[in-house]
Amino acid sequence: MARKNAGGNKTRAVRPGIRDAGGEAAAITLSVLERWLIAPSENEHLEFKEAKRQYDWRKTLEYCVAIANEGGGHLVLGVSDKPPRCVVGSRAVENPDKAKQQIFEKLRMRVEIQELNHPAGRVVVIEIPSRPKGQPLSLDGTYLMRVGESLEPMSPDRLRRIFAEGEPPFVEQPALTASSADEVIELLDVQAYFELMKLPFPGSRRGVFTRLRSEGMVMEAKGGHAITNLGAVLLAKDLRRFETVWRRAPRVIVYQGKGKLETIRDHTVHSGYAAGFESLIGFINSQAPVREVIGAARREEVRAYPRIAIRELVANALIHQDFAETGSSVMIEIYADRIEISNPGLPLIPPERFVDEYKSRNERLADVMRRLGICEEKSSGIDKVIAAAELHQLPAPEFRVGNCHTTAVLFAHKDLSVMDTKERAWTCYLHCCLRYIGNEKMTNQSLRERFRLPDSKAETASRIIAAAVTAKLIRHDDPDGRSKRYTRYVPFWG
């Protein structure tokens, strides 16, 4: 949609890779630059650099590669890269035509370079196209991608997904071909599907197959029907009957104490995720330790972890797993003081942004599981986990990224007095995030309420807040405010 600038002229909303009807790069105007300056944060399509006098040529090439690998975007020189952003002017890229030619010779990529004469100084905008489909770009053999504010070698997970572009996603590929109608009914729990969807069971087998085909769980095939990986992983009566997904069965291990030395129970759930989800959650909950709560009239034993937190974290692990990672599955490990829920694959967004952003690796799987009532496809699952931890006075959940796994850790109750500085700051950060996405701001008082501290402990809350600020997890909403006790805080990305 076209917008009008202050002078009444129409300007085009510019997005990465957008070209006009003639194939030329869309012009970047000062009004477009102003909109970029007030954007809440940089993203994979937009990078600002001051570059007042010059900008390292190697870095320019690296950002061209990384941004192209993310779908294209813009590298803007002459703008401060920390908010609030402002134009500082740049003398870099003095000869744009020569720079374009050098980039092409090095990367075989045609970029567009525009110079803007802003009142505060010269701004250089390098428009970087998207990489070709199925072909990641590299610089001297290194495939680059953006991770937060830095550039990193592309993860094996990301490389595999790029090379696999053009191929059907894993869930759409067949798990079993040439099956008869009787075999499909024998292998899949179709009754569970209609019950979870709250739909009446069709009066004919034809109605059953029409519905399964519309979901992409079954396809017509020569000699009968093909069950897709989506149908198998969700509705299998026994995942071991399917060669492509049998290793995807979630595994629950219960340990004695806080380490892995002694195993009490090792249980694998072989039902499909939808068909067996409630029994999986029930089993995990039954194995979790209990703690004693003293009420007004009597003592009561309750489970150490809120069921909703377990449910959301397990659903997330099932949905966001990387099916290209072989030899591993979703694993739930129960210790005396914590539950660790791991899934194969690295996250698509930084762990510190789980609370406010959402990007699904398996969109089709997420969509069906949402409609089956197993999860919510609107990034509220982690919010619920954090809220449940606060309500039950548990430390904030932790998210760890390994070499090929992502792990969410749910901790049992721990007194504030025994939490270390890092744990306190992280709990403060997630509390701040929860307040922010609820259209509120964190204060000393709200943090005291989160930890159930009396008013006399305002200084304790202030020290926790100071640690979170020092760790650059949160910041002052109003840096000029004088009263620490009534200062409001927002997440670093707020």
List, as one string, the DSSP characters of 459-481.
HHHHHHHHHHHHTTSEEESSTT-
Q: Which of these three, 202, 229, 245, is where a domain ends?
A: 245
Least confident of 94-108, 245-259, 365-379, 386-400: 365-379
Is it the case that residue 301 has pLDDT exceeding 70? Answer: no
Q: Which of these three, 411, 436, 459, is where a domain ends?
A: 411
* Tokens, residue 395: 């430390």
Q: What's phi and psi for 213, nearest 5 deg?
A: -65, -40
**Residue 419 binned pLDDT confidence (cut-offs 50, 70, 90):** very high
Together in a domain, 325 and 465 = no
Together in a domain, 11 and 102 = yes
* Distance (Å, whole) CA 49 – CA 438: 32
Q: For residue 5, what pLDDT is reported?
A: 37
**Residue 481 binned pLDDT confidence (cut-offs 50, 70, 90):** low
Its domain, for residue 196, covers 170-245
* Distance (Å, whole) CA 209 – CA 154: 41
* Distance (Å, whole) CA 304 – CA 296: 20
CATH number, domain of 442, equals 1.10.10
Q: Which of these three, 222, 245, 268, is where a domain ends?
A: 245
Together in a domain, 267 and 238 = no
Residue 142, CA distances (Å) to 64, 107, 117, 234 in order: 13, 12, 35, 38
Together in a domain, 267 and 141 = no
Burial class (CB in 10 A: 0-12, 13-18, 19+), 326: exposed
Together in a domain, 337 and 225 = no
Together in a domain, 310 and 184 = no
Is it the case that residue 378 has pLDDT exceeding 90? Answer: no
Residue 1 or residue 124, greater confidence: 124
Helix (H) or strand (E) holding 160: helix 156-163
Together in a domain, 404 and 374 = yes
Together in a domain, 10 and 134 = yes
* Distance (Å, whole) CA 320 – CA 309: 16
Together in a domain, 157 and 220 = no
Together in a domain, 368 and 433 = no
CATH number, domain of 55, equals 3.30.950.30
Together in a domain, 290 and 235 = no
The one-character DSSP state at 71 is: T
Q: For residue 353, what pLDDT is reported?
A: 86
Q: For residue 140, what pLDDT is reported?
A: 93
Q: Please state the domain count of the chain.
A: 4
Alpha-carbon Rg for the chain in angstroms = 26
Q: What do you get for the CA distance between the two ends of the chain, in Å?
A: 27
pTM: 0.73
Q: For residue 13, what pLDDT is reported?
A: 37
CATH number, domain of 387, equals 3.30.565.60
* Distance (Å, whole) CA 248 – CA 260: 22
Beta strand ranges found along 354-494 (DSSP E): 398-401, 405-411, 474-476, 489-491
Together in a domain, 176 and 158 = no
Helix (H) or strand (E) holding 267: strand 263-268
- Furthest C-alpha separation in the chain: 81
Helix, strand, coil % in the chain, rounded to nearest 5: 35, 25, 40
